Amino acid sequence: MKVHVTDLKPGDRLIADTFNRHGVHILAKGTALHDAEIARLVQHSIDYVEVHTNVDDVYSSASSAAFLFPEIKSTFDDAILMFESLFHESITTGRFESGLVEDIMQPLFNVLASQKDAVALLLLLNRDANYTYVHSMQVGMLSYYLSLWMGYPHIEASAICQAGYLHDIGKSTIPGEILNKPGRLTKEEYEVIKMHTVNGYEIIRNSLGDTLAATAALQHHERGDGSGYPHGIKEDEIHPWSRIIAVADVYSAMTSNRVYQNKQELINVLKELYALSFGQLAPEPTHTFIRNMLPYFINKRIRLNNGEHGYIVMNHPTDFFRPLIRVNDRFIDLSAERDLHIEEVFSDSET
């Protein structure tokens, strides 16, 4: 029976081997389909498969539905605008209205819970708007997914998402000429910037009474080797939420355009995170993040440094950060073609 992927039910079994449009083998004949397998079919843009159906299960297709980009973008835009309101309220009063946070977070949770492709959502958020506001959205979103990938229950992942969303609220206390300075900060200016962690702790605690979210804001620049700030504490002293948010914070920062630095390519930044996991970033959340992000790059459109456009069709089994690319009618193995690399990954909503 031919079934659209959005109508598949857990327990349905493939009648035949399944290949994506590039001829890459995806799932074997006889595979039992559950959420992970169905998500893989969606990632490879496979619309229909032949299956033996399991009529006893009821399955919601929300997790594998095609992205509704206009609706999701609208939710993100609203959340960014409302964070701007929180930010300005914190500038003038030193705190923010807790009810406004609830108004922001619930629609956001609904989107994140129903959409699984973290890379597609990240690309949708990767825009040249006010860095602080968009960055906060990205960190909240990535913290949510990373928490789930690490096995946190949904209710705690949602709380970590909110803590990630608020992690930089202390920047509302930093003078704009320092926060938005395009050049290198002086030593004195950097000391002022570092205070956003301490000030964020106070703002969140005074606004929400949430000591965990406040602690996450305080510690998100601490590092396992003691090289971070504001207190230079080491890995065992850093709260688990802070370790998660630190990974999301670094990844978002490095893949975004900032006033003093251009964004870097998304897969290459995963490689840099891997290097940072040996001393600075906590290994467990960092490796979990990398392992779960890489599959979502499959079938994403890319541009190589030679100007050619293509699609990622497979992650290399040993050289994880140099995938197999299809350009027109030929394949390029980046693990072998060392002079080539990905310069940009494009959103599914871009033409």
Distances (CA, A) of 279 to 93, 150, 225, 236, 321: 38, 20, 5, 12, 20
> Taking the complete model, does pTM exceed 0.85, yes or no?
no
Closest C-alpha among 243, 251, 339, 349 to residue 294? 251
Tens digit of pLDDT per residue, the chain (351 long)? 788 887 787 778 888 888 888 777 788 777 878 767 787 787 788 888 888 865 443 333 333 333 456 788 888 888 888 889 999 999 999 999 988 898 889 889 888 988 888 998 998 887 666 788 999 999 999 999 999 999 999 999 999 999 999 999 999 999 999 998 888 899 999 999 999 999 999 999 999 999 999 999 999 999 999 999 999 999 999 999 999 999 999 999 999 877 667 789 999 999 999 999 999 999 999 999 999 999 999 989 999 999 999 999 988 888 999 999 999 989 999 999 999 999 999 976 554
User: What is the rounded CA–CA span in Å between residue 258 and residue 262?
Assistant: 6
Query: Which domains does the chain carry?
Result: 2-64 (3.90.105.10), 69-294 (1.10.3210.10), 298-345 (no CATH)
**Please, what is the end-to-end C-alpha distance for the chain in angstroms?**
33
